[in-house]
Structure 1
Amino acid sequence: MNLDKTDRAILMAVQADGRMTNASLAEAVGLSETPCARRLKRLEQEGYIEGYRAVLSKPAVEIGVTAFALVRFGVHDRRLSDQFEREIQAVPRIVSCHNVSGSADYLLHVVARDLEDYGNFVRDVLRALPGVTSVESVLSLREVKRDAGLPLL
Structure 2
Amino acid sequence: MALDQVDRRILAVLQKQGRISNSDLSETVNLSASACHRRVQRLESDGYIRNYVALLDARKLGVPTTVFVEITLQTQADEVLDAFEKAVARIPDVLECHLMAGTADYILKVVAENTDDFARIHRQHLTRLPGVAQMQSSFALRTVFKTTALPIS
Task: State TM-score, norm by structure 1.
Answer: 0.96
Query: Does the alignment pair 1:14 with 2:14?
Result: yes
Aligned residue for 1:133, secondary structure, equals strand
Of 99-108 and 142-151, more deviation after overlay is shown by 142-151
Query: Does the alignment pair 1:54 with 2:54?
Result: yes
Q: 1:146 matched to which residue of 2?
A: 146
User: CA–CA distance in 1 between the matches of 2:75 and 2:33?
Assistant: 56
Of 106-115 and 81-90, more deviation after overlay is shown by 81-90
User: CA–CA distance in 1 between the matches of 2:91 and 2:8?
Assistant: 34
Aligned residue for 1:96, secondary structure, equals strand
1:148 to partner: Cα distance: 3.2
Task: Indicate if the aligned counterparts of 1:127 and 1:134 stay in contact, CA closer than 8 A.
Answer: no
Calculate percent identity across the aligned residue pairs: 37
Letter in 1 for 2:90: A
1:98-137 equivalences under 5 Å are 98-137=98-137
User: CA–CA distance in 2 between the matches of 1:48 and 1:30?
Assistant: 20
Letter in 1 for 2:109: H
User: CA–CA distance in 2 between the matches of 1:41 and 1:50?
Assistant: 11
Q: 2:77 matched to which residue of 1?
A: 77
User: CA–CA distance in 2 between the matches of 1:98 and 1:30?
Assistant: 38
1:76 to partner: Cα distance: 2.2
Letter in 2 for 1:125: H
User: CA–CA distance in 1 between the matches of 2:102 and 2:14?
Assistant: 35
Letter in 1 for 2:39: R
Task: State TM-score, norm by structure 2.
Answer: 0.96
Letter in 1 for 2:97: C
Give the alignment's Cα RMSD to 1 decimal: 1.1
Letter in 2 for 1:131: G
Question: Across the two proteins, how many residue pairs are aligned to each other?
Answer: 153
The answer for unaligned runs of 5 or more in structure 2 is none
1:75 to partner: Cα distance: 2.2
Letter in 1 for 2:45: Q
Aligned residue for 2:67, secondary structure, equals strand
Letter in 2 for 1:63: V
User: CA–CA distance in 2 between the matches of 1:123 and 1:134?
Assistant: 14
1:107 to partner: Cα distance: 0.4
The answer for unaligned runs of 5 or more in structure 1 is none
Q: 1:95 matched to which residue of 2?
A: 95
